[in-house]
Structure formats: structure tokens, C-alpha cells
Amino acid sequence: MSEKRKKDIQRIKELESINLATDDIRELVVQTKIKVEKDNELLARKNNEELREHKIKSVDIVGAIGAGKTALIEKIVEILSEKYRILVICGDITTRVDADRIQAHNAESIQINTGRECALNAYHIHKIIENKDLDDYDLLFIENVGNLICPSEFTLGTDTRITVVSTTEGEWVIEKHPMLFKMSQVAVINKIDLAERLGTNIPKMLKDAKDINPDIKIITTSAKTGKNVNKLIEILEL
Amino acid sequence: MSEKRKKDIQRIKELESINLATDDIRELVVQTKIKVEKDNELLARKNNEELREHKIKSVDIVGAIGAGKTALIEKIVEILSEKYRILVICGDITTRVDADRIQAHNAESIQINTGRECALNAYHIHKIIENKDLDDYDLLFIENVGNLICPSEFTLGTDTRITVVSTTEGEWVIEKHPMLFKMSQVAVINKIDLAERLGTNIPKMLKDAKDINPDIKIITTSAKTGKNVNKLIEILEL
């Protein structure tokens, strides 16, 4: 990550801390957050080391509810399940709907229910890695809880992070949520099949993503029709 | 709120705390969260008292990015701006796009940029209330940051909370996010104009909302066409 991007992220974190709570407990809140993030960062690094030791490629997918994260993973797994032994971890507040959908496509899937937490953290992933024989897998996908904000606080230890938005979220969605785009290697604009009907300004979205993170790779897809899913797999070098 | 619902919420909070962090700092994280929530609850109550003293009716709207919160407020304000003097507070990570959209419809609007925070809290609202002459308004709308999870941690001190989901988020969206529906008085299923094309199972969504919170009032709308916006205003008794 470039120095400029690191500084941007730092500035956003400082801005945030001003309004976290009333004067009485602000310092406690800020210090706790710093500890949690540091703790998470260490564990994420450990996760990544373990996955690499076992030659497992890893990708995590973040995005709002309804962006099409599960549908994209379904399509990807359908294509890659002959080539790789795949494990998919799905995060959700409750239910195991997503894991069941993916299981139907020849990949093992594990559901994590977070209760009320708004994102997966490295600790969730660590506990699963510890209890699995990693020699049984070549590829790990993690689908985060549907949320375009909180996952920016926690890296998980994957090689690549994909942020997915959809045309139904409107053309402001990327400009409004810079953090995840700063932290991701790949941006997906999904539901491109609905763009015309909705009148979504796709060029603006592409431009915003590049403005926020010049290194990010961007692709438009339709998980429904399958459009560009193969290209996404190419970008991921899978 | 019924005893059963209070117990449900307590159980979810306990479940969540197990996975918040590693053993070393878990207790600190849990205790900090408890303090933050208590602090917020007190301030929310104070906000509500102040608003009521000035005879201001207040509504806050939560929902994911793209659910149509701003579009709904635009339509409501268009109808009510002759009857009431309206103040709208819009929360977003960054930009003042939403506030500008609403300002165009004869309501005063204030944008709060949260930096990286995933929801507005009572403290944000308190600071605005303190700096405004509340005799100038009859009605307050608060549009929360686009997020279907985090706003459940913070009440703001309004009379009524509306949770908005849209048909593009899929029929599982309510079942997957029970907390906000437990805490809201009104549920809106928006973008009903797209339901047929998307094949979204609306009866399931209606049933899920009632299962989660039997007291909740539910309405389907299209902010785009204006369908049922008048009925929503009736439900809100405005």
C-alpha cells in the first residue's frame, strides 16, 4: 500500500474518533478500538502465513446486502470446483442460507453467525483454520457479512480482497464508501444487466474507484447471467 | 417493548460478545461496548425529551445503501413541506449528496460525515440539537448511514424508527437482519416496482417482519413512482 493511501486511512480514522462517544468515555473507546485493530492485524497475518504454508489461495468478498456476493461465489465455484478443492466461509448475522446455496455447487461451506456483529474478523477465520485439515483444500473464499462499511476495520488474512457493489445501489455508492476500495485489490460492479433500466451511471462508478485507488482492478459483471465471471476469475489469477 | 423481545435482544448481544476478539482483550472490548451503549441510551433519552419539549415530531430511517432512504424522504418532504417546518439530518461516511438532494425539496438539511463509523449515534444528534433553535421546526427526519446492521446498536432519541429494505436485496434480507426489525415501529419494503422483474418473494418478507416483531407496521412502497408514500405518511401519523 502506498504511503499516501496509508496516510489517507489514518486521517479517516482520526476524524472518526472525534465523534465516537461523549467526552467521558471517548478515550476508552478510542484506545479499545486501537487494541482491537492491532490484535486483529496480528491474527490476520498469522492466518495468511498458515494458508500460504498449505499452498491455499485465498480471497475475501465484501459488499452490502444484495450486492450479489453469494451469487458471484456460486458462479465462480461452479467453474472452479473441478480444478480446485474449495472451502467457502460465509458470514452472516443469522441463518445459513448463503452456505447452503454454495454447498449445492460442490464446495464445502461453513457458516459463521455473528449475532449482531457487522463484519467478520481475523479471529473468526482463525478459529476455523485451526479446526480444519488445511491439506484438504487449494482455495478459500470468504464471504463477509453484508455490509459496505465495517469490513474495512478488519482484514482477515486473505491474499486478495474483492469489494462488490451493484448497479441497484446507485452511482454514488463508491464515492460514498472509499475505505473498502482503498483496501481492496479488485472492485466488482455487479447486476450490470439492470444498469440500463435503472439508469445507473457506470462510467462515474469506474472513475470513482480509480480515483480512490489507482491500483484497483475493476470489472462489471452479472452474476445472474454469468457475464464476465470468467474474466473475474482471470483477474484473480485462479 | 415486550419482555420476550428484550430477552431476545439480550441473548443476541451475549452471543456476539463471544467472538468479539481474542481472549486477551475480550473483556475490555465487552465492557467498553456496554459503556458506549449505556452512554448512548442516556443521551438518546435526553434528545427525545428536548424534541418533545419543543413539540417536534421525530422519525429516523435506517436501511442498507441503495434501499431508497433518501428517495423516500424526498417524496415525504415534498408532500409535508407546506404543513410542517422540516429539518432533515443525513448521515453518511462522506459526501453531502443526500443532504443536497433533500434541500432541493424545501426542507433544511444537515449532513453528518462519520468518517468510518457505520452508524449515527445519539451524540451526533445531540450536538446538532444543541446548536439549533428548536422553535424553528415541527418535524425532524434523520437518515442514518446506509447500513442494515450497526444502527441497531444506537438509538437516536426519535419517536419512531423506520427500517427500509428494498426488493433488490432479496427475500432473505429481513430474516437475516432481525435486530433492526425488533427495534423499529415501521418496516418499509421499497422498490416494489421492481419486484416482479426480480421475482422477489414479497409475502415471505411480510411474514418474516411480523414473525420477528408482531407489533411492527409494514408497508410496500415505490419511492420512484410515489406508490404508497401517502399511506406511509398516514402510518407515521404526520
- The dihedral sign for the CA sequence A49, A158, A30, A209: positive
- What is the pLDDT at residue B203? 97
As a whole number of angstroms, the distance between CA A34 and CA B85 comes to 42
Q: Quick check: B28 contacting A, CB < 8 Å?
A: yes
Residue B78 to residue A112: CA distance in whole angstroms? 43
Write out the H or E segment, with its range, that includes residue A217. strand A217-220
As a whole number, mean pLDDT of residues B50-58 equals: 98
Instruction: Assess whether pLDDT exceeds 90 at residue B128.
Output: yes
Minimum Cα–Cα distance from A153: chain B residue: B116
Torsion region of A140: left, alpha or beta (phi above 0 gives left; psi -120 to 50 gives alpha): beta
A113-172 residues touching B, CB cutoff 8 A: 113-118, 121, 123-124, 145-150, 152-153, 166, 168-170, 172
Of B97, B150, B178, the CB nearest to A172: B97
pTM of the model: 0.89
**Is the model's pLDDT at B144 over the cut of 60?**
yes
| Identity of residue B66 | G
Structural domain boundaries enclosing B60: 37-235
Residue of A nearest to B29 (CA): A32
Concatenating the DSSP letter of every residue in A25-68 gives HHHHHHHHHHHHHHHHHHHHHHHHHHHHHTT-EEEEEEE-TTSS
Cα distance from A88 to chain B (closest Cα, Å)? 19
In chain B, the percentage of residues whose pLDDT exceeds 70 is 93
On chain B, the residues whose CB falls within 8 A of the CB of A13 are: 115-116
The residue of chain B with its CA nearest to that of A117 is: B16
Is the minimum CB–CB distance between B23 and chain A shorter than 8 Å?
no
pLDDT of residue B201: 97
* Residue B114 pLDDT level (bands cut at 50, 70, 90): confident
Interface membership of A1 toward B (CB under 8 Å)? no
| Residues B32, A35: C-beta atoms closer than 8 Å | no
CB contact under 8 A, A66 and B150: no
Residue B5 above 60 pLDDT?
yes
Asked if residue A192 is part of any domain, the answer here is yes
Mean pLDDT of the residues in chain B: 91
* More confident: B49 or B5: B49
Pairing of strands A139-143, A108-113: unpaired
The CATH number that applies at residue A171 is 3.40.50.300
**Which residues of chain A carry a pLDDT beneath 50?**
none
pLDDT tens readout for residues B186-206: 999 999 999 998 999 999 999
Structural domain total, chain B: 1
Element (H, E) at A113: strand A108-113
Q: With an 8 Å Cβ cutoff, are A149 and B66 in contact?
A: no
Read off the pLDDT band of B17 (50, 70, 90). low
Of B104, B110, B147, B149, nearest to B127 by C-alpha is B110
CA distance from start to end of chain B: 23
Residue B30: inside a domain: no
The pair phi, psi for residue B149, each rounded to 5°, is -120, -65
Q: A177 in a domain, yes or no?
A: yes
A212 neighbors A182 (Cβ within 8 angstroms): yes
Contacts 24+ apart (CB under 8 A), A68-71: A68/A164, A68/A166, A68/A190, A68/A191, A68/A221, A68/A223, A68/A224, A69/A98, A69/A143, A69/A144, A69/A146, A69/A164, A70/A98, A70/A101, A70/A102, A70/A143, A71/A190, A71/A223, A71/A224
* A35 reaches B (C-beta below 8 A): yes
Q: Say if residue B9's pLDDT is above 70.
A: no
Query: Is there a contact between B159 and B184 (Cβ–Cβ < 8 Å)?
Result: no
Residue B225 lies in a domain: yes
Phi, psi dihedrals of residue B39, rounded to the nearest 5°? -55, -45
Q: For residues A115 and B190, give the distance between their C-alpha atoms in angstroms, rounded to a whole number.
A: 26
The cell for B12 is 443476541
Interface probe with A: pick from B32, B37, B65, B168, most Cβ of A within 10 Å? B65
Specify whether the CB–CB gap between A162 and A211 falls below 8 A: no
pLDDT above 90 for B134: yes
Nearest CA to CA, how far is A117 from chain B (Å)? 6
CB contact under 8 A, B97 and A176: yes
Is B118 close to A149, i.e. CB distance below 8 A?
yes
The answer to the question of residue A106 being in a domain is: yes
> Residue A27: inside a domain, yes or no?
no
A130 domain residue, yes or no: yes
Subunit contact B39:A25, Cβ cutoff 8 A:
yes
pLDDT at B79: 96
d(CA A146, CA A144): 6
At residue B217, the pLDDT reads 98
Residue B11 lies in a domain: no
Write the ipTM.
0.85
CA A9/CA A11 separation, integer angstroms:
5
Cα B29 to Cα A28: distance, rounded to the nearest angstrom: 10
A139-163 burial, b at 16+ Cβ within 10 Å, e below that, comes to bbbbbbbbbbbbbbbbbbbbbbbbb
A29·B13 Cβ contact <8 A: no
Closest CA to B230 of B120, B72, B86: B72
Q: What is the dihedral of CA B5, B11, B16, B21, to 10 degrees?
A: 140
Chain A, residues 198-227, CB within 8 A of chain B, namely none
Residue A91, judged by CB atoms within 10 A of its CB (0-12, 13-18, 19+), counts as buried
CB contact (8 A) between residue B94 and residue A176: yes
A107 and B CB contact within 8 Å: no
Mutation site, A12, A17, A168, A181, interface B, largest B CB count within 10 A: A168
Q: Which of B149, B180, B191, B200 to mutate to test the interface with A (most CBs of A within 10 A)?
A: B149
The backbone region for A148, taken as left when phi is positive above 0, alpha when psi lies in -120 to 50, beta otherwise, is alpha
Query: Angle at Cα A234 formed by Cα A229 and Cα A238, nearest 5°?
Result: 105
